[in-house]
Amino acid sequence: MNSYLKRIGIFFYGLLSYAVFLATFVYAIGFVGNLPYAINTLDGPLQMPLWHAVLIDVLLLGVFAVQHSVMARPAFKRWWTRYIAVEAERSTYVLFSSLALILLFVLWQPLGGQVWQIENPSGRLLMSAIFGFGWALVLYSTFLINHFDLFGLRQVSLQLLGKPYTGLEFKMPAVYKLVRHPLYAGWFLCFWATPSMTWAHFVFAVLTSLYILIAIRLEERDLIEMHPEYRDYRRQVPMLVPRISRREKAGADGAEVA
C-alpha cells in the first residue's frame, strides 16, 4: 500500500512539474515578445542605475545557466538520485529550471534604449512571423525526440504502471536530418527575431546565445558517451544551420545561368 501511494505521489509530482513548465513556457513567449498578458517583460524604461540593472540581469541569467547545466550532467544525476526517486529526477530538473526562469521573469530589469527599430510594417510583420516560427520549432522539436520523456512525464507514468524505464533510441526524425539541434536553432530565432531590439533584449539574446553554444558542446559530449553513433551523425549533419548540398548548389547555379 505504501509503495502504491509513493508511486501515485511521484506521478502527481511529475504532473505538477510539467504544469509549472507549461505555464512558464507560455509566459516566456509573452516575456520575450512583450505581449500584453505578460506582467513583466524584457523591455521597458530604465528604473535604476544602469550598472545595477545590468548586474541583476546577468546574475539572473547566470543562475539559470548554472542550474540548467549542472543538473543535466550525468555525475550530478548520479549524486542527486541518492536523495530523490530516480523516476522523479527529470521532473525535478524541469521544475527547478522553471523556477529559475520564473525568478528571472519577476526580477528582470529593463535597460531602456534601442539597438534597432524596424518601422516598415512588412519588416515588422516578417520579424514577428520568424519569432512565432521559432517558438513553434522549439515545441515541435521536443515532440520529435519524445516530448513527454524530455519533460519527465514518461518516467513518472511508467513507474506508476510498475514498468521499467527504457532509454530512448538514437534517431534522426524530420528536421534532425537537416540540423543536429533544431530546438536550439528555434531558440536563436525566438531571442533574435524582433522588430524592436532594446538593450535589455540585446543583452538577453547575446548571453543566452553564448550559453546555448556552450550547452551544445556539453550535451554532445554526453550524447557521444550514450550513443557512439552520434559521432558519425555529428560529422554528417550541421549543428544549427542547414547545409546546402553540392547537388542543390549546382542545380541552383545552373538555374541562374539559364
- pLDDT, one tens digit per residue, over 186-245 is 999 999 999 999 999 999 999 999 999 999 998 898 889 888 899 999 999 999 999 876
pLDDT of amino acid 194: 95
Residue 12's contacts (CB-CB under 8 Å, 6 or more residues apart) are: none
DSSP state of 115: E
Could you read off the pLDDT of 140-181 as tens digits, one per residue? 999 999 999 999 999 999 999 989 988 888 888 889 999 999
Whether the predicted pLDDT of 250 surpasses 90: no
Cell of 251: 542545380
Predicted confidence (pLDDT) per residue in 23-37, tens digit: 999 999 999 999 999
Domain residue extents for the chain: 2-257
**What is the mean pLDDT of the segment spanning 93-116?**
95
Phi and psi angles of residue 46, each rounded to the nearest 5 degrees, phi first: -65, 135
Distance in angstroms (rounded) separating the CA atoms of residues 72 and 227: 17
Residues forming a β-bridge with 198 = 114
Q: Which cell numbers in the block locate residue 195?
A: 522588430
State the burial class of residue 5 (Cβ atoms within 10 Å of its Cβ: 0-12, 13-18, 19+): exposed
